[in-house]
């Protein structure tokens, strides 16, 4: 069946509506994951009040209080909150804009999952609008719609749209800066052409608007993620390619953005560099091992970004490798085909917005001996995602005339199936299950023991478990948990009527418990408690996996 242009536009508009629905419907579908709850802690301004659990039990509600704004009954207390908020940010490896946005949003709407994630959803919808604008600027109305749909349904971007981290807004600033720069170049290159229907004052007004958006978006991007500076360098190359005569004007705009960010660069970035743990990106590898890993990261990033999305967290390594090889083959074919069909300018723009920044980051990793490209399943280079999608869309619009509509429908179908399966088959409700167990005996003094001191685990317990119940927490690494537990129960034998033992498969700050360590804990508990229930809790990846053992105080015979 042949699909005409009107029908494909209707399909694209329906797909945009579906992309919006997927975001709204899944705002609270899953619990916060590890880094999201850290974003919440930073947004409340109470990170500096967080203390790693020690070798004595603490009241879990003490951590719950850190996940909401502190009481502010006066201007002095509000100023104090803002001061501690900024002090907490300088220990982070990221610029402050995302956390400032979330802090203000938190003040307006509170710290619920829907409230915290809704700002990211708004950024993702705005990104779809920018994708439409950028696509229309280069390819016309249909190209803009295709770009908006592919970005909106892209599994990797959908995941980050529902994630309280800075990556969703980073894509927005990437798209807005690219769009505003290309619109500005178009205006500058065409303003000498006489257009009776457009007055000079209107052109000037439009030009000032795009200049303002360019400066704002570049500034915001730099204040959201440091690697955005590399993307800005490629925007500069686009200037030299398309409007070299006016390079100095664009240099002024970019310099203005740098000047605006300079106070943070001087005060915050210097402190962050002193606190940074850059060695974690520099493992000891032989030259051959290092090169193979660099190549693997490049392949994986493209497969994750363009095909499998967050499924990478549970799929075997080979799946992401195969997906990456398919993505590379398709992008290579699109590039070769565009070159062959004399679409060199659009090809170069697409490469400069996606593939070339990615290859530059790879080269930088190779020469510095670091492995940042694949960090967090490729999220550190998420700003290349729009450019990679755009390259394929340019090929669809300029080369794939006869098969274009069927390819569009195939990609939409693939993305939809991937996303629906992801949210339908991969729930993340582990801590709700723990809360349900706690609520069955809500007034029973309970000690929760866990073989992890990582704040993502501790804070998620604090967020989801009932704060008004008599809950204490003993968190130690796997090696120290058994002796610390034995000491606690010996010194406070009457304090606890129930034990909830959470054995983390990935404690983050330590190693998983060995069978011998688990047996030691079980032997200590068996002296005073009897087994009530045991179950395995799982989420969307290994950080969410726990074995839960519930034990009750033995009743004297």
pTM of the complete model: 0.95
Residue 194: per-residue pLDDT: 46
Assess whether 395 and 454 both reside in one domain. no
Among 399, 425, 451, where does a domain finish? Answer: 425
Which positions ≥6 away from 426 have C-beta within 8 Å? 314, 539, 540
Average pLDDT in the 390-409 region?
A: 95
- 3 pLDDT band (50/70/90 cuts)? confident
pLDDT at residue 199 in the model: 65
Asked whether residue 222 falls in the same domain as residue 348, the answer is yes
Do 171 and 277 fall within a single domain? Answer: yes
Chain-centre distance for alpha carbon 337: 33
Per the document, the length of the chain is: 557
One domain, residues 447 and 393: no
Residues 228 and 372 in one domain: yes
3-state secondary structure 85-134: HHHHHCCCCCCCHHHHHHHHHHHHHCCCHHHHHHHHHHHHHHHHHHHHHH
Alpha-carbon 501 to chain mean position: 30
Same domain, 48 and 144: yes
Position 260 pLDDT exceeds 80: yes
How far, in Å, are 416, 490, 503, 528, 529 from residue 446 at the CA level?
A: 44, 16, 16, 14, 12
Maximum separation of any 2 CA atoms in the chain, in Å: 100
pLDDT confidence tier of residue 204, bands split at 50, 70 and 90: confident
Q: Where are the alpha helices (DSSP H) in 26-73?
A: 34-44, 61-64
β-bridge pairing 546-553 and 529-537: antiparallel
Instruction: Report the pLDDT averaged over residues 380-404.
Output: 96
- Same domain as 458, residue 411: no
Q: How confident is the model at residue 495 (pLDDT cuts 50, 70, 90)?
A: confident
Angle, in degrees to the nearest 10, between helices 247-264 and 228-242: 170
The answer to whether residues 40 and 178 belong to one domain is yes
Chosen domain end from 383, 407, 425? 425
pLDDT digits (tens, 9 = 90+) for 246-258: 999 999 999 999 9
Number of domains in the chain: 2
* pLDDT, mean of residues 58-80: 91
For residue 514, what is the domain's CATH number? 3.40.190
Boundaries of domain holding 490: 430-553
Instruction: Report the pLDDT averaged over residues 218-236.
Output: 97
> Is the same domain home to 347 and 419?
yes
Question: Cβ distance 476 to 451 under 8 Å?
Answer: yes
29-43, 85-99, 157-171, 275-289, range with the lowest pLDDT = 275-289
Give the whole-angstrom CA distance, residue 293 versus residue 248.
40
């Amino acid at each position: 069946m042949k699909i005409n242009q009107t029908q494909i536009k209707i399909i694209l508009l329906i797909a945009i509506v579906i992309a919006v629905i997927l975001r709204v419907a899944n705002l609270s579908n899953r619990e916060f994951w590890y880094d999201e709850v850290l974003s919440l802690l930073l947004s409340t301004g109470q990170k500096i009040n967080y203390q790693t659990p020690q070798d004595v039990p603490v009241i879990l509600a003490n951590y719950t209080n850190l996940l909401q704004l502190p009481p502010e009954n006066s201007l002095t207390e509000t100023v104090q909150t803002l001061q501690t908020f900024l002090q907490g940010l300088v220990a982070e490896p990221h610029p402050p804009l995302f956390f400032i946005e979330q802090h203000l949003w938190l003040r307006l709407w509170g710290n619920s999952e829907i409230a915290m994630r809704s700002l990211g959803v708004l950024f993702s919808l705005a990104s779809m609008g920018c994708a439409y604008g950028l696509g229309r600027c280069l390819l016309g109305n249909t190209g803009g719609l295709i770009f908006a749909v592919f970005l909106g349904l892209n599994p990797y971007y959908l995941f980050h749209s529902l994630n309280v981290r800075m990556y969703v807004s980073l894509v927005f600033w990437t798209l807005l800066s690219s769009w505003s720069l290309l619109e500005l170049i178009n205006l500058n290159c065409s303003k000498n052409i006489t257009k009776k229907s457009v007055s000079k004052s209107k052109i000037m007004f439009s030009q000032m608007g795009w200049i303002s958006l360019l400066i704002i978006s570049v500034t915001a991007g730099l204040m959201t993620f440091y690697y955005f500076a590399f993307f800005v360098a490629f925007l500069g190359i686009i200037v030299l390619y398309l409007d070299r005569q006016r390079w100095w004007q664009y240099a002024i705009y970019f310099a203005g953005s740098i000047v605006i960010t300079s106070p943070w660069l001087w005060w915050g970035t210097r402190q962050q560099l002193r606190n940074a743990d850059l060695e974690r990106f520099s493992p000891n590898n032989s030259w051959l091992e290092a090169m193979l890993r660099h190549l693997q990261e490049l392949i994986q990033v493209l497969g994750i970004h363009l095909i499998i999305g967050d499924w990478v967290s549970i799929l075997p390594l080979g799946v992401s490798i195969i997906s990456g090889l398919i993505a590379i083959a398709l992008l290579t074919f699109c590039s070769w085909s565009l070159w062959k069909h004399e679409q060199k300018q659009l090809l170069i723009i697409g490469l400069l917005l996606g593939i070339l920044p990615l290859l530059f980051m790879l080269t930088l990793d190779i020469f510095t001996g670091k492995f940042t490209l694949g960090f967090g399943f490729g999220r550190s280079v998420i700003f290349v995602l729009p450019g990679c999608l755009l390259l394929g869309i340019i090929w669809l619009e300029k080369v794939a005339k006869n098969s274009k509509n069927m390819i569009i429908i195939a990609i939409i179908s693939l993305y939809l199936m991937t996303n629906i399966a992801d949210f339908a088959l991969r729930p993340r409700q582990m801590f709700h299950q723990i809360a349900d167990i706690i609520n069955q005996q809500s007034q029973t003094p309970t000690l929760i023991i866990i073989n992890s001191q990582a704040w993502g685990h501790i804070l998620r317990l604090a967020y989801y478990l009932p704060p008004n119940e008599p809950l204490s927490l003993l968190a130690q690494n796997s090696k120290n948990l058994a002796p610390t537990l034995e000491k606690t129960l010996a010194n406070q034998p009457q304090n606890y009527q129930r034990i909830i033992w959470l054995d983390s498969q990935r404690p983050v700050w330590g190693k998983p418990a060995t069978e011998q360590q688990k047996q030691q804990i079980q032997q200590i508990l068996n002296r005073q408690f009897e087994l009530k229930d045991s179950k395995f809790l799982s989420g969307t990846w290994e950080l969410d996996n726990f074995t839960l053992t519930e034990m009750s105080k033995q009743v004297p015979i």
